[in-house]
């Protein structure tokens, strides 16, 4: 009987552990030696939705791409980075004006972190009342910190009029934000501000600009098979076909 109780207890413990792991509000996954994907969660259309961001470690500190969508994870992300890498976040870049990219801008400004968006994003944020970064950049820009270069690229309108993607040349990592859909996405998601008629051309611009990326990171859901651009093309073709 004691053996049976032990087996049952062990089984229940494993199930609870698995559940707690899946319910973590902040997930961090190592992508390369210096690049990590972080994921937070929020509710959209009644469902819990994951949102991916990214950070890069350098000898001079950390570069943050996006901010957490979940307000409760603004500080835990900073704490996790400092605990794991013994480094501070020096600046953040948000890829467009939606809250799953910019929710933490004001908080990080209050912590002395430099926050960046494009001028185009800031113009939209000003009109829509979204959080606005402290610093702005024009056109395609290369940010440098330590030995790392972070390249921003505006491919054209798509998910939004202001969406940019981020390219890490050394690691051949393409971060697409919401401009790129996950390979397991079944639709285009939130298209309230989308320009589907131009999105397909913009995707092609990315493919021509950044050939043979090793990793392609979408703004939501899984990235591990690297087929996000192909799935985005497929979903756009289906959407445009259904509009005819």
Whether residue 184 lies in the annotated active site: no
Query: Which listed residue (70, 100, 122, 162) is catalytic?
Result: 100
Query: Which listed residue (42, 52, 98, 122) is catalytic?
Result: 98
Query: pLDDT tens across 127-143, in order?
Result: 999 999 999 999 999 99
User: What are the angstrom distances between the C-alpha of 234 and each of 134, 193, 203?
Assistant: 37, 20, 11
Whether residue 85 lies in the annotated active site: no
Residue 210, pLDDT above cutoff 90 = yes
Please give the residue that has the higher pLDDT: either 12 or 240. 240
Whether residue 190 lies in the annotated active site: yes
How is the beta sheet containing 114-118 ordered, strand by strand? Answer: 26-30, 35-44, 47-58, 61-65, 89-93, 114-118, 135-137
Residue 20, pLDDT above cutoff 60 = no
- To 5 degrees, how large is the angle CA 29–CA 148–CA 132? 75
DSSP 188: -
Label residue 37 by pLDDT band (50, 70, 90). very high
Query: pLDDT tens across 159-195, in order?
Result: 999 999 999 999 999 999 999 999 999 999 999 999 9
Residue 45, pLDDT above cutoff 80 = yes
Give pLDDT, residue 236: 98
For domain 26-243, the CATH architecture is 4-Layer Sandwich (3.60)
Question: Which of 168, 179, 218 has its CA nearest to residue 35?
Answer: 168
Query: Which listed residue (42, 96, 122, 162) is catalytic?
Result: 96
Question: What integer is the mean pLDDT of 38-45?
Answer: 94
Query: Which listed residue (190, 204, 205, 222) is catalytic?
Result: 190
Give pLDDT, residue 23: 66
Give pLDDT, residue 244: 75
Query: pLDDT tens across 83-125, in order?
Result: 999 999 999 999 999 999 999 999 999 999 999 999 999 999 9
Whether residue 163 lies in the annotated active site: no
Query: Which listed residue (42, 52, 70, 159) is catalytic?
Result: 159
Whether residue 96 lies in the annotated active site: yes
- To 5 degrees, how large is the angle CA 101–CA 34–CA 72? 35
Name the residue ranges covered by the structural domains of the chain. Answer: 26-243
Residue 1, pLDDT above cutoff 70 = no
Model pTM score:
0.90
């Amino acid at each position: 009987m004691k053996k049976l109780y032990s087996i049952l207890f062990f089984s229940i413990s494993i199930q609870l552990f698995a559940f707690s792991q899946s319910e973590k509000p902040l997930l961090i996954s190592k992508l390369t030696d210096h690049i990590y994907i972080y994921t937070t969660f929020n509710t959209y259309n009644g469902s819990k939705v994951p949102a991916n961001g990214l950070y890069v470690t350098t000898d001079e500190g950390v570069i943050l791409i996006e901010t957490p969508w979940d307000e409760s994870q603004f500080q835990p992300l900073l704490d996790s980075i400092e605990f794991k890498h013994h480094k501070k976040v020096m600046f953040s870049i948000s890829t467009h004006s939606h809250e799953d990219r910019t929710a933490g801008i004001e908080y990080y400004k209050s912590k002395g972190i430099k926050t960046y968006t494009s001028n185009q994003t800031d113009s939209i944020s000003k009109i829509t009342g979204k959080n606005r970064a402290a610093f702005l950049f024009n056109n395609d820009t290369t940010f440098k910190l330590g030995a790392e270069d972070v390249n921003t690229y505006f491919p054209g309108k798509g998910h939004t009029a202001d969406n940019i993607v981020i390219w890490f040349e050394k690691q051949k990592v393409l971060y697409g934000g919401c401009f790129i859909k996950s390979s397991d996405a079944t639709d285009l998601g939130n298209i309230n501000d989308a320009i589907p008629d131009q999105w397909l051309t913009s995707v092609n611009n990315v493919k021509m600009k950044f050939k043979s990326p090793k990793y392609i990171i979408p703004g939501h859901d899984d990235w591990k098979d690297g087929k996000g651009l192909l799935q985005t093309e497929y979903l756009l073709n289906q959407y445009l076909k259904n509009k005819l």
